[in-house]
Structure 1
Amino acid sequence: MEEQLKDFEYEQVSRSEGKSKKYPYGTIIKIPKDNTTYFLVALSDFDSNNHAFCSAENYFSVLTKLASYIGNNSEGKTVSMPAIGTGLSRINSSLNVCIRNIVQVFRIVNPPIIGGVQIVIEESSCWKVDMRII
């Protein structure tokens, strides 16, 4: 990852734990490994207690940047991704709301994502997903 991040601007921060380089929201790197390519995105910031958080405004900005990046870099392949915003980023939205947000943003992205996107849901959470919202 360090090699992929070397050309990105960052802020040096002091933390009791974790990395000391803070990258801007929406920083995306492409990591090829074996026969899979991973797109990693900076979504969260950290408070003074080292707890992750992300505002709604930054969340939508990151989704838009990620969708555009995938449209430009997925090479027509199907992309699998988690329901971004349902974990440690503390978006404070339900699984259904996060899925709906991802679908809405990814539908209007330019360039379009040719190979499509699969949102991967943990098996234990599948029952929570309301397919009518999609």
Structure 2
Amino acid sequence: MTFRAFRDVKRLRFWRSFTNHVFACLGVVAFLFGLYDVLRPNIISKIHFPLAVAIVFIAVIYASIRSYPRSIEETYSKPNTTIRIVEGDLFAQLDNVVVGMTNTFDTQIPHIINPGSVQGQFLAVVYANDVSALDAELARGLISVTPTSQVQKPGKTTRYPIGTVVAIRQARKHYFCVAYGEMNSVNQAQATMDGIWRSLENLWREVRARTNGDPVAIPVIGGGLARLSQILPAQDSIRFIAMSFMFASRQTRVCDRLDIVVRPQDVERLDMLELQAFLTSLKET
């Protein structure tokens, strides 16, 4: 928290907020002392310098407290839900978890799926690298889904619609496997903004149906193997996810809380104060 706070105080948004709070505090204090001076003339003028120093000191302390970077979260009343931006390990969260996949639902590592990706971590942490067990769960979830096409490539060759969601329950948690990218013939995953938006819409629908309102954790999506990092960098991806969640929640409440989990190595690129301002802007006025 200390390192992030040091980084955030270098942002223009912090100093804009700090300056506004300083002048607001000075204005209120000056008004009160001005009123006191009208009622009790010639008292304040005798101690004007020490008093001026004290007022400035109080204003600086007040502005620092009000502007100091805190945990990034916002609670909404309509709907009754919360969005948090959390730094850490997605699979260390106690919430239900979203796992991004491609529309072939490939699972083989390392040549098709990167072991360091969210999907690779899912296989390692939840299934202890038991590919057969994960494939069996995915196959059960896809029984009722009509494939869209076949692709000739190493690994799985059946394509399902973009936005397909397979919900897997393990150890009292749901893992929502969402196909937001398309796998081509050389096992390169690609995604589009439209496909990600459609996938998120389907995801929120599935979360409503299965979690009974329990919190959900989702990683920052759109970069890496999805080849959208230039179009949808992490900062924009977080806003994209939050906006989609709020649009869906205003139709019908999705869950108690959404945690958008950011990897520690990605936090440096984010303007957390701007993200807090964005989450606040999603409140109904």
Q: Same fold (TM over 0.5)?
A: yes
Pairing 1:112–2:233 present: no
CA contact (8 A) 1:72 1:111 kept: no
How far apart are the structure 2 equivalents of 1:61 and 1:13? 21
2:226 corresponding residue in structure 1: 89
Q: How does 1:32-71 map to 2 (within 5 A)?
A: 32-71=169-208
Q: Which segments of structure 1 move beyond 6 Å, counting only runs of 4 or more?
A: none
CA contact (8 A) 2:153 2:185 kept: no
2:33 corresponding residue in structure 1: none
Aligned-residue sequence identity (percent) comes to 25
How far apart are the structure 1 equivalents of 2:209 and 2:140? 21
Task: Give per-residue Cα distances to partners, 1:93-120, cap 9 Å, x unaligned.
Answer: 1000100000011011032223211011
CA contact (8 A) 1:83 1:99 kept: yes
Task: Give per-residue Cα distances to partners, 1:24-64, cap 9 Å, x unaligned.
Answer: 01111110011221011111112333211112221211122
- SS of the residue corresponding to residue 167 of structure 2 reads strand
Q: CA RMSD in A?
A: 1.6
TM-score, structure 1 as length reference:
0.89
- SS of the residue corresponding to residue 180 of structure 2 reads coil
Pairing 1:121–2:258 present: no
How far apart are the structure 1 equivalents of 2:198 and 2:148? 19
Q: CA deviation at 1:12?
A: 4.4
| Larger RCO: 1 or 2 (CA < 8 Å, sep 6+) | 2
Pairing 1:98–2:229 present: no
- Larger relative helix fraction: 2
Structure 1 unaligned blocks of 5 or more:
none
Structure 2 unaligned blocks of 5 or more:
1-137, 279-285
How far apart are the structure 1 equivalents of 2:252 and 2:156? 33
TM-score, structure 2 as length reference:
0.44
Task: Give per-residue Cα distances to partners, 1:111-131, cap 9 Å, x unaligned.
Answer: 222321101111111222222
How far apart are the structure 2 equivalents of 1:52 and 1:8? 21
CA contact (8 A) 1:83 1:121 kept: yes
When Rg is computed on C-alpha atoms for both structures, the one with the higher figure is 2
Q: CA deviation at 1:2?
A: 0.7
Size of the aligned set, in residue pairs, is 134
Partner AA of 2:195 in structure 1:
N
How far apart are the structure 1 equivalents of 2:164 and 2:150? 17
2:31 corresponding residue in structure 1: none
1:18 corresponding residue in structure 2: 155
CA contact (8 A) 2:149 2:160 kept: no
How far apart are the structure 2 equivalents of 1:14 and 1:95? 30
